[in-house]
Amino acid sequence: MTGLLVFGRTGQVATELARLAPDARFLGRDEADLSDPAACAAAILAARPQAVINAAAYTAVDRAESEAGLAGLINAEAPTAMARAAAELGVPYLSLSTDYVFDGSGDRPWREDDATGPLGVYGATKLAGEQGIAAAGGQWAVLRTSWVFSAHGANFVRTMMRLGAERDELRVVADQHGGPTPARDIAATCLAMVAAMQGDRAKGGIYHYSGAPDTTWAGFARAIMADAGLACRVTDIATADYPTPARRPGNSRLDCSAIARDFGISRPDWRAGLADAVRELQA
């Protein structure tokens, strides 16, 4: 997509965007540091793109608990500044968000209009970013997704394949539920949404997008071992048996009917994306 400006270069979704949209311009940290929101806005105004995607974020969930200021700059203030700059130019702006804006209660998939209630700093900063983007005054979209994976970057699939090759058994949390989402499908969805927004000024808002079928981390781990041909045994444990600095939501299921209705985009089967990622990693 020509005329597209993307914040992010090395992250999972940015890497897949570069594969799908090689004509786009990608800004890494050297050109646009998200801890400097004014510089991010200036980069948009200087580039004068036809659309902007923010695929960069502070994603270290546990470290965010002790780096709230930095996480807030990157996840809330920078996306807000970007959205204002895009609004000034009159071009669509899309930013990625997360299931962590919810408190993870219950077992019903979360809808876009459900009450938010982040459990930690990461979710709170992403929610603040959503609110700033919505208030910026332009044409905007926020895509909430979950359990992102690919053949590159730091993610669950790569960790499980590495540990599964080293160990006979792994203990994996089995009481957190959600939809693993291939980064490649997220990238394709971002491009489709931005193209639709360019064609219709009324399109935009908050949308959910995650892989199907919903599973648990332990279920996902077993699928990884099977696809990778690893004999490592996966044993179910409770969240309480694996304490972390930041609390994780127990229910990360996302209702993705709105994006299907408004953009014609359906949930991807994560098992196909997993097979592709495993093949790429083993190659």
List, by residue number, the catalytic residues. 122
Q: How many CB atoms lie within 10 A of CB 277?
A: 25
CA-CA distance, 194 to 69, in Å (whole number)? Answer: 30
3-state secondary structure 199-265: HCCCCCEEEECCCECCEEHHHHHHHHHHHHCCCCEEEEECHHHCCCCCCCCCECCECCHHHHHHHCC
Nearest to 34 by CA among 3, 76, 65: 76
- The pair of structure tokens assigned to 103 is 């408190």
Whole-number Å distance between alpha carbons of 260 and 258:
5
CB proximity list for 80: less than 8 A, separation 6 or greater: 37, 129, 132, 133, 135, 136
Q: Which residue has the tokens 């090395």?
A: 10
Q: Which secondary structure element, helix H or strand E, spans residue 173, and what is its range?
A: strand 169-173
What count of other Cβ atoms lies within 10 Å of the Cβ of residue 21? 20
Place of tokens 């608990």: 65
In sequence order, what DSSP letters do the residues of 21-73 get, joined into one string? -TTSEEE-TTT--TT-HHHHHHHHHHH--SEEEE------TTGGGG-HHHHHI
